DNA sequence: ACTTTTTATTACCCTTGGGTAATATACGCA
DNA sequence: TGCGTATATTACCCAAGGGTAATAAAAAGT
């Protein structure tokens, strides 16, 4: 006999929802721990036992949430990819001119690279993924690449960006950005947002039609925030 | 039973070929094969059995030249590092002004990144090396970094380069360069030397005191060769 | 309270692949 | 032609670690 008042909030599928949420939270906790360990030690040197240890559980418990170690790796990558793609969508739907769009992309991507899941986009080895997952990651990388190239192309078309080789320009910019995932360590002199601000100008200075002021020499003046990251 | 793939022409163990070669040549042949395999499949997925197979020998034979798999990985890294440092020494001893030095550094480093041993500098995971070898690689990376930063500093001092944040500028340039090691595949539209030519200008355009012409838009006109790589 | 479902644990399996011991073969040299 | 050395092979060891089966504990449902 159910003695609870059947208030709208306590409808039969609400407990189910909250339980699902708890499960998702645990899933994400696993990913957060795993991505850190993978970044610290590399995917292969990191063991599932150690992931489990850090979560105060045991290895087989992980298999309630993931099918395999590779699955965990892939999901880490997905987390980073989703963040980036969400921001890209936002930025593109703002319909600014090419240069402004490019700078927002640089800013967003730079900030993401300074996070664990963001770094996982470039620090992990595609060869460690299953064949189908490799395809997915490759498609994702292409979408990011295309976003940058489109912004550059559009900028050339709308005359906010000087004519340039789109492909190489995108490579150069993305390279500088991806590298952040390798050198950034929390607690340095610059916050992710400061780095993002700087790079948004720095990496577009040479192709901008009306050259902006370059980032100040010694971060003396705070660069203009184009947009908050979150 | 014999699943050996046909040996590459470069293998000193080619059947019926003279096996009497200098020890160092064989050592290097191992490294060339290993670095390729490591780049293709990743260090951990690549097995010493497969390295040996490609050389038409068996795994234990490798231990005549190297103490361990990790040793091979490290020596691959050393090969790339030596090339870069040799070029840096040459360039620095030319005593040009800061901007010219920086451009030569960019050119040399870009070209190296488009080679197997060069790519190994950025594609391999430091965590896969022994503690002492990690120290060595770290020191090497620092020397490269310092070379770039010194060139920038000098350029600011001799007024060939605009005042800028030296550290972030170096990070941005090195990032774009390191990324080459990830996207460059032989047989593309651009040769390593063409890429190097382009990047030497592209990555320094925004900080050069007297801005050069940027690389042409569509590689329609062949970029001016600043200097041959070898 | 009793049952069912979810989540965790203990104990184990088993493949993979780096590394080694014993041994054979080729080579350089008298 | 035989000896010493360098180099290679065959056969094997074994630790590491991903993954699973059996089962216990906890939570949810009734």
Q: How confident is the model at residue B11 (pLDDT cuts 50, 70, 90)?
A: low
Q: How confident is the model at residue A229 (pLDDT cuts 50, 70, 90)?
A: very low
> Distance (Å, rounded) from C-alpha B3 to C-alpha A216?
61
| B174-195: average pLDDT | 97
Residues of B with CB under 8 A from a CB of A: 40-45, 125, 127-128, 162-165, 168-169, 171-180, 182-183, 190, 195, 198-199, 202-203, 205-207, 214-219
Residues of A whose CB is below 8 A from B44: 43-44, 128
Task: List beta partners, residue B161.
Answer: B208
Provide the Cα torsion B39, A119, B164, A209; round to 10°: 90
| A23-34: average pLDDT | 96
Q: Please give the residue of chain B at the shortest CA–CA distance from A177.
A: B175
The predicted-structure confidence for A67-80, as pLDDT tens digits, reads as follows: 999 999 999 999 99
The predicted-structure confidence for A136-180, as pLDDT tens digits, reads as follows: 999 999 999 999 999 999 999 999 999 999 999 999 999 999 999
> Distance (Å, rounded) from C-alpha A142 to C-alpha A154?
18
> Distance (Å, rounded) from C-alpha B53 to C-alpha B59?
8
How many alpha carbons lie under 13 Å from residue B60 in its C-beta half-sphere?
0
Return the pLDDT at A22: 81
> Distance (Å, rounded) from C-alpha A167 to C-alpha A146?
10
| B7-17: average pLDDT | 50
Closest CA to B113 of B37, B195, B55: B195
| B42-55: average pLDDT | 98
Q: Which domains does chain B have, with CATH numbers?
A: 1-66 (1.10.10.60), 76-202 (1.10.357.10)
A227 or B213: which leads in pLDDT: B213
A44 or A10: which leads in pLDDT: A44
A202/B127 touch (CB, cutoff 8 Å), yes or no? no
Q: Is the CB of A6 under 7 A from strand D?
A: no
Shortest distance between the Cα of B206 and any Cα of chain A, in A, equals 5
Instruction: State the DSSP H helix or E strand holding residue B99, giving kind and residue range, or none if neither.
Output: helix B98-113
Nucleotides in chain D near protein beta carbons (<7 Å): 6-11, 16-22, 28-30
Task: List beta partners, residue B66.
Answer: none
Q: Is the CB of A48 under 7 A from strand D?
A: yes
CA of A68 to C1' of D24 (A): 24
Return the pLDDT at B199: 98
High-pLDDT (> 90) share of chain B, % = 80
The predicted-structure confidence for A187-210, as pLDDT tens digits, reads as follows: 999 999 999 999 999 999 999 987
A168/B202 touch (CB, cutoff 8 Å), yes or no? yes
């Amino acid at each position: 006999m159910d003695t609870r008042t059947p208030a709208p909030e306590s409808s039969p599928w609400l407990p189910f929802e909250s339980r699902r949420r708890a499960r998702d939270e645990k899933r994400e906790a696993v990913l957060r721990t795993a991505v850190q360990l993978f970044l610290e030690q590399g995917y292969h040197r990191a063991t599932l036992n150690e992931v489990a240890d850090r979560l105060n559980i045991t290895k087989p418990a992980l298999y309630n949430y993931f099918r395999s170690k590779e699955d965990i790796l892939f999901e880490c990558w997905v987390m980073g990819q989703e963040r980036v793609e969400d921001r890209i969508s936002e930025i593109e739907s703002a319909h600014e001119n090419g240069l402004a769009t490019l700078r927002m992309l640089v800013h967003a991507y730079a900030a993401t690279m300074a996070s664990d899941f963001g770094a996982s986009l470039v620090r992990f080895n595609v060869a460690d993924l299953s064949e189908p997952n490799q395809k997915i990651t490759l498609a994702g990388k292409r979408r990011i690449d295309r976003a940058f190239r489109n912004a550059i192309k559009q900028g050339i078309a709308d005359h906010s960006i000087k004519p340039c080789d789109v492909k190489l320009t995108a490579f150069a910019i993305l390279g500088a950005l991806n590298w952040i995932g390798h050198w950034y360590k929390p607690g340095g002199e610059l916050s992710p947002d400061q780095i993002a601000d700087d790079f948004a100008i720095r990496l577009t200075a040479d192709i901008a039609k009306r050259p902006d002021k370059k980032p100040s020499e010694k971060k003396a003046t705070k660069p203009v925030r184009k947009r908050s990251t979150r």
